Amino acid sequence: MSVSADPRPAELPLPGGVEGATVRLHPLLTGEVLAPPALLERPSGRLAVPRALGLGRSREDWVWLPIPAFLVEHPGAGVVLVDTGLHPSVAIDPAQSFGSLAARMTEVRMSPEQAVPEQLRARGIDPAAVSTVIMTHLHADHASGVSELPGATLVVDRREWESASARNAAKRGYRPAQFDYGFDWRTIDYDAEPVDSFASFAHGVDLFGDGSIRLLATPGHTLGHQSVLLRLGGGGEALLTGDAAYERRAIDRDVRPLLLHDEHLYWRSLREIRRYLGQTPGALVIAGHDREQWPQLSAVYA
Q: What b-and-e string marks burial along 241-250, b requiring 16 or more CB atoms within 10 Å of the CB?
A: bbbbbbbbbb
Where does the pLDDT of residue 54 fall: very low under 50, low under 70, confident under 90, or very high at 90 and above? low
What are the helix and strand counts (H, E) for the chain? 8, 14
DSSP string, 130-162: EEEEE-S--BHHHHTTGGG-TTSEEEEEHHHHH
Position 59 scores a pLDDT of: 82
| Banded model confidence at residue 46, pLDDT cuts 50, 70, 90 | confident
64-100 pLDDT per residue, tens: 999 999 999 999 999 999 999 999 999 999 999 999 9
Alpha-carbon gap, residue 82 to 228, rounded angstroms:
8
Considering the entire predicted model, what is its pTM? 0.96
Q: What is the pLDDT of residues 163-221, one digit of tens each?
A: 999 999 999 999 999 999 999 999 999 999 889 999 999 999 999 999 999 999 999 99
Q: How far apart are CA 270 and CA 184, in angstroms?
A: 31
**pLDDT value at 58 more than 90:** no
CA distance 71 to 238: 13
Burial class (CB in 10 A: 0-12, 13-18, 19+), 103: middle
Tell me the C-alpha distance between 164 and 176, whole Å: 7
pLDDT at 57 over 70: no
